[in-house]
Amino acid sequence: MAVLRASLALVLLTFLSYSTVLSLAYPGFNFGWGGHGGISGGHFGLFPEFYQSSCPQVDDIVISVLEKAIAKEPRMAASLLRLHFHDCFVQGCDASVLLDDSAGIASEKNSGPNKNSLRGFEVIDEIKAKLEAACPHTVSCADILALAARGSTVLSGGPNWVLPLGRRDSRSASLSGSNTNIPPPNSTIQNLVTFFKRQGLNEVDLVALSGGHTIGVARCTTFKQRLYNQNGNNQPDSSLDRTYYYGLKSVCPRSGGDNNISPLDFASPARFDNTYFRLILRGKGLLTSDEVLWTGNHRKTVELVKSYAENESLFFDQFAKSMVKMGNISPLTGFNGEVRKNCRRVN
C-alpha cells in the first residue's frame, strides 16, 4: 500500500509539473479544475477566466479602444459584431477572416459577402497593438473578435454576457468557405435555417442573432432585388410596407448606387434594442433575410419574432446565449493554431 501511495504521489507530482510548464508556455492555460472548463472530453476548453493571470487588463484595453472608435463612428459597433459572425461561420471562430492575401493565403476579405463590405479591421489592429504592448503574445485575434463583438453590443445599449475565452488563431483561411457558408441577404427562411443548422445553431439562435441587425446599415446592392425584381417578374416584394418601399427607392435606384447605404433599423440605427423585430411586424425589415423571419411561414420563427417584438428583455437574454453558442463554433484551442502577433498575417 505504501508503494502504491508513493507511485500515485509521483504521478501527481509529474502531472502538476507538466501543467506548470504548460501554463508558462501557454499563458492563460488551465486544466479546468473547479469547473473552469479546461479539458473536456479530451479537448482544451474555453472559459471566462482564461486571461485572469496572463492579461488581467484585457477587457479594459478592449473597451477603451471600442469607446473611442464607436464614439467617432457609431456604425462601427455593428461592423465589429458582423466581423465576429463572418469569422465564426467560416471554419469556426479562428480569426481566419482577418488574414490578408499572402503567398499561402487567399483572403476571406475578397469573398462575395465580404468584399467592399466587411469593415472594422483597423479597430481590431489597434486593440491587438495595445494588447501586445501590455501582454505580449498572449491574447489571440479570435478572442479579440469575440470581445469586440460583446463590447460593441454593450456600448450600443445591448446585453452583456459571460464570455468564454481561450480561442487560438488559424494559420489558414477559406475563401471558398466564405463564399458558401455565409447566408446571403436574399435567403429564404428554409435557406437560413439550413445555413444555421450547418453551424450547430437552431431557429432560436437564427432569430436572436438576426436581431443584431438592430444596429448598422446595409448597402443598396443587398436589398435592390426586393425593390425592383423580387420574384423575377420586375415587381417589388409584396411584403414591403409601401411608404417604406418608396423611401428605399429614393436611396437605391434601379441602376447604379450599389454602395448607397440604408439603416437596417431606421427607427434606432445606433441603439441596440428590439425595434428591429417591431419593424419586421410592420413590413419594414430591410433585407429579405430579415422579413422572411416573419413572412416565411415558418411557425417557430414567426412566434419568436412576435415574442421578441413584445419583450425586449427576452430578446436580450437569448441574444446573449446565442452569441456564446456561436462563439463556440469549432474554436482552435490548446496546442492547435497559434496566437498571432499581427492579426493580418500568420506568425
36 known ligand binder? no
- d(C-alpha 127, C-alpha 130), whole Å: 5
214 known ligand binder? yes
Number of helical H runs and strand E runs in the chain: 14, 4
92 known ligand binder? yes
87 known ligand binder? yes
> Which residues are tagged catalytic?
86
- Residues with Cβ within 8 Å of 272's Cβ and at least 6 positions away in sequence, in order, are 77, 153, 156, 157, 158, 159, 214, 215
125 known ligand binder? no
Dihedral sign computed on CA atoms, order 194, 199, 204, 205: negative
SS (H, E, C) 85-116: HHHHCCCCCCCHHHCCCECCECCHHHCCCCCC
237 known ligand binder? no
84 known ligand binder? no
Coil, strand or helix: which one is 220? helix
* Backbone angles phi and psi of 336, in degrees to 5: -80, 150
94 known ligand binder? yes
Measured torsion, CA atoms of residues 90, 96, 101, 104, in degrees rounded to the nearest 10: -90
- d(C-alpha 347, C-alpha 343), whole Å: 9
183 known ligand binder? yes
- Summarize the annotated binding site as residue ranges: 87, 90, 92, 94, 96, 108, 183, 213-214, 265, 273
- Summarize the annotated binding site for substrate as residue ranges: 183
